[in-house]
Amino acid sequence: QDIQHADHLAATGVFTTLKVLLYTDSNTEVKVAVIEALGEMMLGSETAAGPDDELVHEFCKLLLSPEPRVYTAVAKLLGRMIYQDYVKLHVVLHQGKNLPQSDNWGLSDPFVRMEINGQQWQSAVKRNTLEPVWEEEVQFSISDKSEELAVELYDWDLSGEDFLGGIRLSCEELAELGDETSRRLWAMKQADEANTGMGKASEQVAAIMAEGKAAAKAVTDEADARAEACKEELLEEARLISTDPKVESQRIMAEA
């Protein structure tokens, strides 16, 4: 009945085999069992086990069956398909915080189990943590928004599973909670992305500034060296230009 199992059965050809049995087998017991199995797979699957026109046509034909069990089973299934096709409940399991300690060393191996309208789903087990992050999604088919989703938290153990807590929420509450939570999560995600972007931008700016400072210092040092060399050259030229030839001759003769 759970969605993942139904999709797996459909992917492995079980759904097609059941349809062939429905079309070809005349045994009443077999037909009733096949109708019920097809119904559970269709109502438990999102896309892989959807009813095609040929199958719906066959169901309508079976409404005229002389066997009461056959047309009763088909009538119930068609009623569920029509009624239950209106609403899909999409649930996202994000994370848990501050979970109770269950193991002797102060940790847990938590997993979540959900159930609604006979459909069950179970999350992965997160090992040795009180702050599990799942980020898993599941979709249920529901026929009435007043139906309740049971969410239960367990601790996995080799000797069994320990119940840690649970809650039941109607679909109306989930819709309201989902809208508000989605808005908050979206806002938080946007803020995180903005902060991440600002952090990266700051790092890039700092790197550019550091490169700029290094390049500016190199240019400044080179300019200072050139300026000093020019200064020395100019001083030498000025000394030569300003020297009186007569005085210079006398100085040279005195030194000689």
Top mean-pLDDT range of 13-27, 118-132, 182-196, 199-213: 118-132
Q: Work out the number of other CB atoms within 10 angstroms of the CB of residue 54.
A: 10
| Average pLDDT of span 232-254 | 61
Which pLDDT band, with edges at 50, 70 and 90, does 131 fall under? Answer: very high
Q: What token pair was written down for 194?
A: 């903005």
pLDDT score of 1 more than 50: no
| Average pLDDT of span 104-117 | 88
pLDDT tens for each residue of 56-74: 888 888 888 888 999 898 8
pLDDT at residue 150, rounded to an integer: 93
Rounded-to-integer distance, Cα 235 and Cα 82, Å: 103
pLDDT score of 251 more than 70: no
pLDDT at residue 209, rounded to an integer: 66
pLDDT score of 222 more than 80: no
Which pLDDT band, with edges at 50, 70 and 90, does 124 fall under? Answer: very high
Rounded-to-integer distance, Cα 186 and Cα 183, Å: 5
Rounded-to-integer distance, Cα 202 and Cα 209, Å: 10
The pTM of this model reads 0.41
pLDDT at residue 190, rounded to an integer: 61
Residue 59's nearest CA partner among 41, 45, 44, 79 is 79
Q: Work out the number of other CB atoms within 10 angstroms of the CB of residue 1.
A: 14
| Average pLDDT of span 229-250 | 63
